[in-house]
């Protein structure tokens, strides 16, 4: 499996110990697109990032990300890309980030989410994943990165310093990997088989880490992103027809 260094999120909101959502009006039927390296689209309670943080590893390629529809805590969006060269390196992380205030794990009762998506293209080497960070305080430095991989295409694999542990969380089976990314410890739950229609409670993954990996429930959840990390492929399109998430 490949290992790679994942860039930190483009933006982390100013933090207070509360799970309140930034108040916004519901928006629908408003498509917009960005093809810029660090292009972003703020809409509803989401920021959608193109985030071509690793494009310098590619010998050629491009990527654009489009928001199709958003309402309250639900969004539909897509990203299209072609990348060649640097087969061991991630080129980007197009994603939708849910906007909320940094919140201590012990005060969270649920993080319900659904994700309906599909992938098309040729020779796709990529993952489809949630990406989240934990810090010891609301304004602290990230100590943990938590990823939930719903799919791994081609040779894509997570950061790992050893073998995986098989776990069952919700209605799904996962292989749990861990390893360092600088000073950050990365935990990656990789689905045993591709999940294109996911429904679950992200808090269950944190409960597992608290009970089995020594992660403290006093850690603050800093961000929740959902998207794709491509290595290489041609005419690839990740289409999210419906994605919902909230912190309760």
Amino acid 72: pLDDT:
80
Amino acid 31: pLDDT:
65
- Averaged pLDDT for residues 178-186: 97
Q: Which residue has better confidence, 180 or 4?
A: 180
pLDDT band at 52 (very low <50, low <70, confident <90, very high): very high
Residues 6+ apart with CB under 8 A from 212: none
Tell me how far apart the alpha carbons of residues 182 and 78 are, in angstroms, rounded to a whole number: 31
- Averaged pLDDT for residues 207-213: 98
Domain 32-245 has CATH 2.60.120.180: yes
Q: How many CB atoms lie within 10 A of CB 59?
A: 9
Q: Which residue has better confidence, 42 or 71?
A: 42
Residues with a known catalytic role: 145, 229
- For residue 69, pLDDT over 80 is answered with yes
- Averaged pLDDT for residues 217-241: 98
The residue behind tokens 């640097």 is: 86
pLDDT band at 133 (very low <50, low <70, confident <90, very high): very high
Task: Report pTM.
Answer: 0.87
């Amino acid at each position: 499996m490949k290992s790679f260094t994942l860039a930190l999120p483009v933006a982390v909101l100013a933090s207070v110990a509360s799970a309140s959502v930034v108040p916004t009006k519901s928006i629908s039927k408003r498509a917009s697109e960005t093809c810029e390296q660090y292009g972003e689209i703020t809409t509803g309670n989401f920021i959608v990032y193109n985030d071509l943080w690793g494009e310098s590893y590619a010998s050629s390629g491009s990527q654009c990300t489009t928001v199709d529809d958003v309402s309250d805590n639900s969004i539909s969006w897509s990203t299209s890309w072609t990348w060649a060269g640097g087969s061991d390196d991630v080129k980007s992380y197009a994603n939708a980030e849910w906007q909320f205030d940094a919140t201590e794990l012990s005060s969270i009762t649920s993080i319900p989410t659904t994700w309906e998506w599909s992938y098309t293209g040729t020779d796709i080497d990529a993952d489809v994943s949630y990406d989240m960070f934990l810090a010891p305080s609301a304004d602290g430095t990230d100590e943990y990165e938590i990823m939930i991989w719903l799919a791994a295409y081609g040779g894509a694999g997570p950061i790992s310093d050893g073998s995986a542990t098989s776990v069952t969380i919700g209605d799904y089976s996962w292989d749990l990997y861990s390893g360092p990314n600088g000073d950050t410890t990365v935990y990656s739950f990789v689905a045993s088989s591709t999940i294109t229609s996911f429904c679950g409670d992200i808090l269950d993954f944190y409960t597992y880490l608290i009970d089995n990996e020594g992660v403290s429930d006093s850690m603050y959840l800093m961000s929740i992103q959902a998207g794709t990390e491509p290595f290489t492929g041609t005419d690839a399109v990740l289409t999210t027809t419906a994605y919902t998430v909230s912190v309760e």
